[in-house]
């Protein structure tokens, strides 16, 4: 996948900005994006790739599903007392978060 130099600079700068955020802020940003979804703009994808990279920097893992040509959300997450993130556990019978 070819990425222009200007887009790569935006991604790098955005990643640096996201690396200044707390883990709680990263989780909140992911959940907001997961709830709202992609609206098909190229730059939105660039920001989510930067967020994925910031998750890798902060947590050594990311809730995004990423392949060479695809990035997607995998469900809502929550930070935990260990300083890592987990997927939100849902009680499907009662339609409530656990």
Query: pLDDT (tens digit, 9 = 90+) per residue, 1-17?
Result: 578 999 999 999 999 99
Task: Decide if 27 contacts 86 (C-beta within 8 A).
Answer: no
Q: Is 34 exposed, middle or buried (0-12, 13-18, 19+ CB in 10 A)?
A: middle
User: What tokens does 47 get?
Assistant: 């920001």
Closest CA to 58 of 90, 88, 86, 22: 22
| pLDDT, tens digit, 9 for 90 and up, residues 14-39 | 999 999 999 999 999 999 999 988 77
Tell me how crowded residue 32 is: count the other CB atoms within 10 A of its CB.
Answer: 9
Domain boundaries, the chain: 5-97
Give the single-character DSSP code of 91.
E
């Amino acid at each position: 996948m070819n990425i222009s130099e200007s887009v790569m600079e935006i991604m790098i700068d955005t990643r640096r900005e996201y690396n200044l955020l707390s883990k709680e802020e990263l989780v909140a940003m992911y959940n907001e994006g997961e709830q709202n979804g992609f609206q098909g703009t190229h730059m939105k994808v660039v920001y989510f790739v930067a967020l994925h990279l910031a998750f890798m920097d902060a947590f050594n893992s990311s809730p995004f599903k990423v392949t060479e040509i695809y990035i997607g959300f995998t469900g809502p997450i929550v930070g935990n007392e260990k300083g890592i993130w987990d997927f939100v556990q849902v009680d499907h019978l009662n339609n409530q978060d656990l």
